[in-house]
Amino acid sequence: MKRLCVAFAITTTLLGAGCMPPGSDTTTHPSSLEQNVWIPVSPELSRMEYTYGESASERLVLYRFVDETHHLRLVHDEATPKAVSQWHVANPSAEIVINGFYFHEDWFPSGRMIADGAYNGDREFDADRSAYVILSPTFEILDTAVEPIPENVQDAAQSYPFLIKNGEAAISEDSGLVARRTFLGDDTAGFGYIGVVPFDEISLFELSHVLDAMDINWDDAVNLDGGPSTGLSATTETVTESYDSFTVVPNTVVVEPK
């Protein structure tokens, strides 16, 4: 059943609803934190819970970091995919773990992926339509339609679509297809961002414009795998929270202090 659920997640992340969650709710929420403001939670790591509607579910959780103090890497295991919370248990030094990039039914990535300096799988997205997210040695988001894909990276992967491109909302038409979402972004000041919409099912168009309306000078933001795959687990100096994936995933993005 999990395998069918993941296959369904691949095809419906951009299309809308996915599998139902397992029986137990593993989410913990630091409800005492003020919303819509940046709150330091560890050295050079801040958190914002941003509300964009009247419903309690209409909110996103966003973490802001800098390369100088935090290291991102891609962790994968196609033989033993795990829920995001289990990935965090397996990587106890991480402050944040989120679900990663699109994958096929064989658990291998749907687009180009490099982990620990080596290619993982042989698939690749159309360069005219994708972003290339470099996690290590430094965090960067490239538009593969106009920027060459570098070879000398440690951890990187393709994803799509752009939610924000060159500081502006990148999606102009609303498909009406909704799901939980996960995304990465950067701004013109050099900050990186890790975000999830853990409860609300939102279209990519809506998310693009929610991000555009925030008081952030975005450079780029790109959608990751979502729907049932969406998950974030964080353990910082002041906050512990887990919005677990509804299904197992074969790859995650791990954020560790340097």
Rounded mean pLDDT, 220-230 = 98
pLDDT of the residue at 29: 53
- The residues pairing with 234 across neighbouring beta strands, listed in sequence order, are 96, 241
Burial pattern 162-198, b for ≥16 Cβ within 10 A else e, equals bbbbeeebbbeeeeeebbbbbbbbbbeeebbbbbbbb
Mean pLDDT score across all residues of the chain: 89
pLDDT of the residue at 86: 98
Count of alpha carbons within 13 Å of 138, Cβ hemisphere only?
9
pLDDT of the residue at 32: 56
Rounded mean pLDDT, 51-64 = 95
Do residues 140 and 168 lie in contact, with contact meaning Cβ atoms separated by under 8 Å? Answer: no
> Per-residue pLDDT for 23 more than 90?
no
Cis link prior to 92 (omega < 30° from 0)?
no
